[in-house]
């Protein structure tokens, strides 16, 4: 029985997707677990996690285009604007995506689909240090 | 190895966020687990779970303002209206947020970020009794 | 301690919800676990998982009606259109719902609410073979 924990840091540069599959896979390898699950949890409310296509970069720009129209920076209804026009929109984008994702571990590796990547989606316009808590259990 | 289960009840008073971090943390403490994961699952399809900022109440009212414009009560396209104008909108709001969230446990406590709270989001306009199934594994 | 893994295939016929509660429950039974969690992970980025009402089929058609207005097939802003007008919209619908859901296991069964069903939501307009990786841990 394995119950392994590690936190990793991800430096974001601007509002964008940052691929973290490899970093999470390294934690799974370090845990020594062969079959079970790996939970990834982001300790923030203005950046989030998602799984999406890892091949065509147009998917990422189309996702960003859709989301920034759905949730507009500087929406005049927002009252939570202390950190700027991308403050409240970042919280909403986080709620519409995921703060916690659990992945299958098989044969000591993450068992993602061929076209799946695990991403941190930075929702703020400026660089941040983001922390992920990773738990490997099985 | 720990595999601990508890269900808790949450009384909601109207459409609003209800903080449940403390109640879930009490279950983690009772389990005795030091390192692993805690899954929270809500047994309903018209209330949901989310993690968002726990400091500024404006975040909560801005979230509600955004969501109630995105998913309109009484939308005339809805056919599932047996329980009123907030019936189908509640189901959609539930699908757009989360029914299940897994949290990291470290040193016997939930390892949330400083500004993160775990909430039940009641999507119906009238009070309900909501049940959460909590699993602590590691 | 149990850490059991199985993958199952789900044949979808068109854009629609496909109920999979029973198939996942069979895996839980096979695992022999009595108390713990069951994670379901879909290995695709244009189909997703959701938990919603299992009683009134109007809930499903209202969900589809809402989602297909929110994320329009053939939106002229999309650049990722290689596989047709439902290609990019399928990815966005996947991001707005769930790729991974963890369910409580109690007394050897899934402990869902009375009105909850677990569904695969096929977001493409044509039939697909979808694979779910199921992990039972506790």
CA-nearest of A2, A7, A11 to A124 is A11
B to C CB pairs, distance under 8 Å: 89
pLDDT at B1: 86
Domain C3-137, what architecture? Sandwich (2.60)
pLDDT at A1: 86
pLDDT at B20: 98
Q: Are B63 and A91 in contact (CB < 8 Å)?
A: yes
Q: How many angstroms separate the CA atoms of B94 and B123, rounded? A: 8
User: Rounded to a whole number, what is the distance in Å from the CA of A92 to chain B's nearest CA?
Assistant: 6
Q: Would an 8 Å CB–CB cutoff place A116 in contact with chain C?
A: yes
Q: How many angstroms separate the CA atoms of B119 and B74, rounded? A: 25
Q: How many angstroms separate the CA atoms of B31 and A71, rounded? A: 40
CA-nearest of A77, A72, A116 to A90 is A72
Angle, CA B123 vertex, CA B103 and CA C22 arms, to 5°:
65
Task: Inform me whether the pLDDT recorded for C93 exceeds 90.
Answer: yes
Q: How many angstroms separate the CA atoms of A129 and A42, rounded? A: 11
CA C43 to each of CA A104, C39, C131: distance values in angstroms, whole numbers, following the listed order: 10, 13, 6
Name every residue whose Cβ is closer than 8 Å to that of residue A26 and which is 6 or more positions away in sequence.
Answer: none
CA B108 to each of CA A132, B25, B27, C50, C92: distance values in angstroms, whole numbers, following the listed order: 18, 9, 10, 31, 37
Disruptive mutation site among C1, C2, C39 for chain A (greatest number of A CBs within 10 Å): C39
Handedness of CA C111, C51, C58, C130 (dihedral sign): negative
Average pLDDT value over all residues in chain B: 98
Task: Inform me whether the pLDDT recorded for C72 exceeds 90.
Answer: yes
- Asked whether C8 and C135 are in contact (CB, 8 A), the reply is no
Q: Would an 8 Å CB–CB cutoff place B19 in contact with chain A?
A: no
Q: How many angstroms separate the CA atoms of B54 and A23, rounded? A: 29
| Confidence tier at B95 by pLDDT (50, 70, 90) | very high
Q: Are C5 and A106 in contact (CB < 8 Å)?
A: yes
pLDDT tens-digit series, residues A74-120: 999 999 999 999 999 999 999 999 999 999 999 999 999 999 999 99
- Asked whether A123 and A86 are in contact (CB, 8 A), the reply is yes
Q: Would an 8 Å CB–CB cutoff place C106 in contact with chain B?
A: yes
Q: How many angstroms separate the CA atoms of A52 and C99, rounded? A: 9
Selecting from A42, A92, A134 the residue whose C-beta is nearest the C-beta of B63 gives A92
Against chain B, the chains showing at least 3 CB pairs within 8 Å are A, C
User: Rounded to a whole number, what is the distance in Å from the CA of A50 to chain C's nearest CA?
Assistant: 7
Disruptive mutation site among A51, A57, A107 for chain C (greatest number of C CBs within 10 Å): A51
Selecting from C52, C96, C138 the residue whose C-beta is nearest the C-beta of B91 gives C52
Q: How many angstroms separate the CA atoms of C13 and B61, rounded? A: 41
- Contact residues on chain C for B71, CB-CB shorter than 8 A: 66
Q: Are B3 and C35 in contact (CB < 8 Å)?
A: yes
Task: Inform me whether the pLDDT recorded for A63 exceeds 90.
Answer: yes
- Contact residues on chain B for A137, CB-CB shorter than 8 A: 36-37, 137-138
Q: Which residues in A4-14 are b (16+ Cβ under 10 Å) and which e? A: bbbeeebebee
| Confidence tier at B93 by pLDDT (50, 70, 90) | very high
User: Rounded to a whole number, what is the distance in Å from the CA of A83 to chain B's nearest CA?
Assistant: 12
Selecting from A106, A115, A137 the residue whose C-beta is nearest the C-beta of C45 gives A115
Q: What is the ipTM of this complex?
A: 0.97
A to B CB pairs, distance under 8 Å: 89
Q: Are C36 and B3 in contact (CB < 8 Å)?
A: yes
Q: Are A56 and C100 in contact (CB < 8 Å)?
A: no
pLDDT tens-digit series, residues C95-129: 999 999 999 999 999 999 999 999 999 999 999 99
| Confidence tier at B64 by pLDDT (50, 70, 90) | very high
Q: Are A79 and B66 in contact (CB < 8 Å)?
A: no
What is the arithmetic mean of pLDDT over B122-138? 98
| Confidence tier at C1 by pLDDT (50, 70, 90) | confident
pLDDT tens-digit series, residues B1-41: 899 999 999 999 999 999 999 999 999 999 999 999 999 99
Q: For a pLDDT cut of 90, what percent of chain B falls above it?
A: 99
CA dihedral of residues A79, A82, A86, A91 (deg, nearest 10): -70
pLDDT at A114: 97
pLDDT at C127: 98
CA-nearest of B118, C10, B37, C100 to A104 is C100
Q: Are A88 and B62 in contact (CB < 8 Å)?
A: yes
Task: Inform me whether the pLDDT recorded for C52 exceeds 90.
Answer: yes
Three-state SS letters, chain A: CCEEEEEEEEEECCCEEEECHHHHHHHHHHHCCCCEEEEEEECCCCEEEEEEECCCHHHHHHHHHHHHHHCCCCCCCCCCCCCCCCHHHHHHHHHHCECEEEEEEECCEECCCCCEEEEEEECCCCCEEEEEEEEEEC
User: Rounded to a whole number, what is the distance in Å from the CA of C52 to chain A's nearest CA?
Assistant: 17
């Amino acid at each position: 029985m394995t119950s392994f924990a590690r936190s990793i840091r991800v430096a974001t540069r601007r509002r964008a997707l940052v691929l973290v599959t490899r970093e999470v896979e390294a934690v799974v390898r370090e845990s020594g677990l062969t079959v079970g699950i790996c939970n990834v949890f982001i300790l923030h409310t203005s950046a989030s996690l998602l799984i999406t296509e890892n091949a065509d970069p147009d998917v990422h720009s189309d996702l960003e285009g859709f989301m920034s129209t759905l949730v507009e920076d500087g929406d005049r209804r927002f009252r939570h604007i202390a950190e700027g026009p991308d403050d409240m929109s970042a919280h909403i984008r986080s709620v519409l995506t995921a703060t916690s994702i659990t992945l299958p571990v098989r044969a000591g590796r993450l068992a993602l689909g061929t076209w799946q990547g695990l991403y941190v989606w930075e929702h703020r316009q400026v660089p941040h240090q983001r922390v992920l808590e990773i738990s490997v259990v099985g």
